[in-house]
Structure 1
Amino acid sequence: MAITAQMVKELREATGAGMMDAKKALTEVDGDMEAAVDWLRTKGLAKAAKKADRVAAEGLIGVAVNDGRGVAIEINSETDFVAKNADFQDMVRDITNVALQTGEDLEVLKATHLNGKPVEQVLTDAIARIGENMTLRRMHVLEGDTVVSYVHSAAAEGMGKIGVLVAVKGPKDKAQEIGKQFAMHIAATSPLALSEAQLDPAVLERELQVQTQKALEENATSAKPKPDQVIHNNIIPGRMKKFLSENTLLGQQFVINPDLTVEQAAKDAGVEITGYARVMVGEGIEKKEEDFAAEVAKTRGA
């Protein structure tokens, strides 16, 4: 019997199994949906699927660099306890190294083989083995003359809560040395973009509207109102300049030497920052808050 994409989709939705696992199950049982569910259960894959609705907002960022190419991936777990598990950490390290060899497509990474199995299946097997939902959520690739990595709150070498990659152009030794300092700076300050030119225009427009409205309201209630041209030609541009200096990497004060901007520190070192990536565990994931007493009652079957 021909296995269609719709059949695979239905089995995935019913069990939460990975695409390749669902297709293999249907192939093994000649398209019988119920038998395919049972096949997945016997392999421990349906057990993993039952955990798929749990929020996985903890985990680790894995980073790796090789020959001008760096990668940062996020693999989530439900609890920080699992993130400290040696089995989980080994998996993060292995998948990060695989990611270093693939392109920038997360789906390609999931389909790439690791120890004879697709990465997606390796993750599914770990869910069944460790007993928590896990997700391979994000992947960032950065290329440049020299790419430097840094991990903040490291759980093990090359993995932690925050992973940073920085691409630096210039003499290699100097780029490596100050690149590490730039990476630490980025981990601490979380800039929105490298420069004003790379900042999302929607973010700039929204900030301009906020600062304009704020300046006009303050002026309207001031005991000594300023002329409109002062508001629009001086005050608002001044506030936007401050916003850019606080939120663009090159405009920020360098944490290692606050007397310099990051841009000036790079120039003084004879290098140029050409790109960066900062990835933090759980960014943008809405964590489910639950009453502790209710959680205890749940575990007791109440």
Structure 2
Amino acid sequence: MEITASLVKELRERTGAGMMECKKALTENQGNIDASAEWLRKSGLAKADKKADRVAAEGRIASAQEAGKAVLVEINSETDFVAKDSNFVAFTDAVAQAALASGATDVDALKSAKLGAETVEEARAAAIAKLGENILIRRMVSIDSANTVAAYVHGGKIGVLVELAGGDAELARGLAMHVAAMNPPHNKASDVPAEFVAKEKEIEMAKMSEKDKSKPAEILEKIISGKIAKIVNEVTLYGQPYVLDTNQTVEQVLKAAGADVVGFKRLAVGEGIEKVVEDYAAEVMKQAGLA
């Protein structure tokens, strides 16, 4: 059967695969569109398997929100070039919407969720075949609440969800921006582990001079308590100066609004992944026999 340009075009529109791959699929399957589409899907899965061990530490955080329900999904690629590709961006946005619509609470459930006529995992395999890099749906977080919820993504690289009791959507978004910028490890002082506080006390005592250590116990306790309070403020959302008004702490802003941060979640692309650093100059020198 003759493989016409219109057949190739039809298969491309249906699958999103490249022109040469569509032509090859049609040739392998005697021009049968359905069989060719299935062939391309299997081919994509095979390519995905081959790329599965390649480090994917770049990528994008995508978000989706509807009223008090919001999700963030981290989807990784091997290079920042692909992370900025319009096809990759469209894929990540679609996955976030699928996460929101399906109610998935973890990545395994998300992979089985429907994304159009296929599952998210099938769409991932197709994206790998199309973009030529390993693509990994690494993490997702979500909030489903009757409270005010804000979802904020900064430059596609940092995403934050904030749940706010009281206040309004504008304050919730401002707090999400603060968390994106300042990355507080904890929400309130009561959330800071006792082990952390004890360790910091030990460190502050070790840093003190012998003269200070000889002061009366109650004075020494006040000095140490003041230092610990400052450290706790630095590692808590409530204790930090608010990025949109540094004359006030977040706690002061919340008190004025009659609001309380129930909790927040933050994702940053590639955090915790050991990246491979390529020294291309050294590699060229080595191949040229100059190193």
Scaled to the shorter chain, the TM-score interval is 0.7 to 0.9
1:241 counterpart letter in structure 2: A
Equivalent position of 1:57 in the other structure: 57
Equivalent position of 2:264 in the other structure: 276
2:137 counterpart letter in structure 1: L
Q: Any unmatched runs of 5+ in structure 1? A: 1-38, 154-159
CA–CA separation in structure 2 for the residues paired with 1:112 and 1:123: 12
Structure 1 residues 248-302: Cα deviation after superposition (integer angstroms, max 9, x where no partner) = 11121111222222122012123222121111111111111222235558999xx
CA–CA separation in structure 1 for the residues paired with 2:133 and 2:287: 15
Change over 3 Å in CA distance of 1:196–1:216 after alignment to 2: closer
CA–CA separation in structure 2 for the residues paired with 1:297 and 1:62: 40
CA contact 1:76–1:137 (8 Å) conserved in 2: yes
CA–CA separation in structure 1 for the residues paired with 2:265 and 2:72: 8
Equivalent position of 1:290 in the other structure: 278
Change over 3 Å in CA distance of 1:103–1:197 after alignment to 2: farther
| Residue 42 of structure 1, CA deviation | 5.8
CA–CA separation in structure 1 for the residues paired with 2:236 and 2:218: 26
CA contact 1:163–1:187 (8 Å) conserved in 2: yes
Aligned partner of 2:205 among 196, 212, 216 = 216
Equivalent position of 2:173 in the other structure: 180
Equivalent position of 1:130 in the other structure: 131
CA contact 1:61–1:74 (8 Å) conserved in 2: yes
2:184 counterpart letter in structure 1: P
CA–CA separation in structure 2 for the residues paired with 1:105 and 1:225: 51
Equivalent position of 2:150 in the other structure: 148
CA contact 2:200–2:228 (8 Å) conserved in 1: no
CA–CA separation in structure 1 for the residues paired with 2:154 and 2:87: 21
Aligned length: 248
Q: TM-score, normalising length from structure 2?
A: 0.77
Structure 1 residues 100-131: Cα deviation after superposition (integer angstroms, max 9, x where no partner) = 12231221111112122221121122112111
Change over 3 Å in CA distance of 1:296–1:149 after alignment to 2: farther
Change over 3 Å in CA distance of 1:296–1:109 after alignment to 2: farther
1:166 aligns with 2:154: no
CA contact 1:40–1:46 (8 Å) conserved in 2: no
CA contact 1:215–1:231 (8 Å) conserved in 2: no
Equivalent position of 2:87 in the other structure: 87
RMSD over equivalenced CA pairs, Å: 2.6
Q: Percent identity?
A: 43
1:117 counterpart letter in structure 2: E
Change over 3 Å in CA distance of 1:231–1:208 after alignment to 2: farther
| Secondary structure at 1:43 match in 2 | helix
